[in-house]
Amino acid sequence: MSQKLLRLLPCLEWGREYHRGFFASDLLAALIVTIMLIPQSLAYALLAGLPAEMGLYASILPLIAYALLGTSRTLSVGPVAVASLMTATAVGSIAQPGTIDYATAAVAMAMISGLMLLVMGALRFGFLANFLSHPVVSGFITASGIIIALSQLRHILGIQAHGDTLLELLTSLSRDLAAFNSVTLATGAAAMAFLFWARSGLKPLLQRLGMSASSAGMLAKAGPVVVILATTAASYLGDFGARGVALVGEVPSGLPAFSTPSFDLQLWSDLFVAALLVSVIGFVESVSVGKTLAAKRRQRIDPNQELLALGAANVASAVSHGFPVTGGFSRSVVNFDAGAQTPAASILAAGGIALAALLLTPVLFYLPKATLAATIIVAVTSLLDIQVIQRAWNYSRSDFIAVITTITATLLLGVELGVLAGIVASISLHLYKTTRPHIAVVGAVAGTEHFRNVRRHNVITHTNLVSLRIDESLYFANVSYLEDYIYQLIAEIDGLEHVILQCTAVNEIDLSALEALEVIDHRLREQGLTLNLSEVKGPVMDALQKTEFLQHLSGKVFLTHHQAVTSLKRDDIEPYII
């Protein structure tokens, strides 16, 4: 079998080595994931503003598509919180929730996003994900989690609040607060309380009841299902519908019908940017989960193949009337912990969801929406990473600015502008830093051939020369800073004959920088000085040798800085103080 085919269809590889031992593990993992995915898929459909059955539909074919194409053995693909919120925001701006247009737009968004991911994968654009820095992603997911939790409060309270940003949500919630429904609130609050408790208290309880640690751990994941069953029963018995509690209502029974998503050009152009953002965010989230899990078992994730697999999953979601999907963090971890060996676990889980869609939907009629909102709120609290602000603050000012910009923009302007602001801020900050490179005047550490910053170490310097270590590649954005630095420095030092640039940290000299070095060299020569370079790296030297710069240079290029200083110095001074 050709290597190329194996790379395009990773399922051929694990399929060949599949055996009965794998199947037992995969089946158990699939069972647990299914139990977890049923409430999640319903809840994320609610979050996306869509009918409950679309959550189930988005959890069948996409899982199979990813299982066939994905490089992660344990990633669980399906509806996730952030992508559902982004879908709600984008689709909500062009259609009214509850309408056919709204559902059509959500399906179209999955289609656009899927095609974009496929195209990016074909172009091998996986590296683009690198531009979403980790603090930005953490900040974005944290802020999105806050927005999600607030947006679900209305279902817990049984009121009509809405909004895409912190201010809109808070204003809307406080205005409608008085109209809360007490039965809804009681249901939601009880569900939340149980779920929060179940996270830490259910496993020990089950163990005390005699269950093994691993079985107890797995059964504890069924908390949301327990809550759903309990509140559905209460709702049925207590006739919650008549008491003003919003119920999920009629959910059509059966498997999704294949359908062609809308190809309305206007709709596609309206959703283009949002689909791009949900694709990129979903991809980054998914790959980072996949990498974390793969590392634990010494497996590898191929980002470009992941683009194809997630693209196929979204197209599969769209043609089966689902909405945008991606790899989810919590489900994947559960799948991994439950012992899933291969993506066959996901195929089995898809079968479980299909069974649920066929058989369980009549039960869902009485399910209070407040229960689903409670599962969402409890789920997103695990996404909140407020500490990232503290870590960034302690570590560096620019990381802090990037995180704060992302969080503030996401909370105040919404998810789309939030993630864009984060990307722009982190790239701009990085570029800004490189425009003002760290330049150190260096001197020799006594008795060695090593040179260190004169401000940090007691080093030997010389009256007739100055050694500069430039801690950055030289390129168009920072050459004028270097020019100004050198001109100012030589104006301050009397008796100077030589300037030596130690190029250990200069990884590139682009054409603008080369031209600037020519200007600097020319100007130094006019003033009776020479410009010398030392420790120029191989790739940089290769480029310089293609030009006439080295022939015209007033000074020389030395292999080591020590050689440069030894051959140019007239005396030694120790210590050197600026």
Binding interface with its own copies (CB under 8 A):
127, 129-136, 295, 300, 303, 391-392, 394-396, 398-399, 426-427, 430-438, 440, 448-450, 453, 456, 471-473, 475-481, 487, 504-508, 510-512, 514-516, 519, 523, 537-539, 543, 546-547, 560
Whole-number Å distance between alpha carbons of 96 and 266:
17
Cα separation of 563 and 52, whole Å? 74
Whichever of 321 and 469 has its CB closer to its own copies, that residue is 469
**CB nearer its own copies, residue 186 or residue 543:** 543
Bridge partners of 108, per DSSP, are none
CB closer to its own copies, 253 vs 545: 545
For the beta carbon of residue 236, count every other beta carbon within 10 angstroms: 15
> 3-class secondary structure for 145-172?
HHHHHHHHHHHHHCCCCCCCCHHHHHHH
- Least distance between its own copies and beta carbon 535 (Å): 9
Q: How far is the CB of 275 from its own copies (least distance, A)?
A: 22
Specify the residue, 81 or 442, whose C-beta has the smaller distance to its own copies.
442
User: H helices then E strands: how many in the chain?
Assistant: 27, 9
Minimum CB separation of residue 492 from its own copies in Å reads: 14
Q: Which is nearer to its own copies, 391 or 556 (CB)?
A: 391
Nearer to its own copies, 266 or 394 (CB): 394
As measured in angstroms, the least distance from the Cβ of 327 to its own copies is 16
Q: For 147-151, which contacts have Cβ atoms below 8 Å and span 24 or more sequence positions?
A: 147/85, 147/410, 147/411, 147/414, 147/415, 148/47, 148/81, 148/82, 148/85, 148/376, 148/377, 148/380, 149/376, 149/377, 149/380, 149/381, 151/47, 151/85, 151/88
Instruction: Tell me the sheet residues that pair with 448.
Output: none
Q: Is residue 308 within 8 Å of residue 164, measured between CB atoms?
A: no
- Compute the radius of gyration of the chain from its Cα atoms: 30
What phi-psi label fits residue 16: left (phi over 0), alpha (psi between -120 and 50 degrees) or beta? alpha
Q: Between 101 and 518, whose beta carbon lies closer to its own copies?
A: 518
The first and second tokens of residue 132, run together, are 């979403």
Nearer to its own copies by Cβ, of 78 and 135: the residue is 135
CB of 2 to its own copies, least distance (A): 22
Q: How far is the CB of 132 from its own copies (least distance, A)?
A: 8
- Closest contact distance (angstroms) between CB of 477 and its own copies is 4
Least separation in angstroms between CB 505 and its own copies = 4
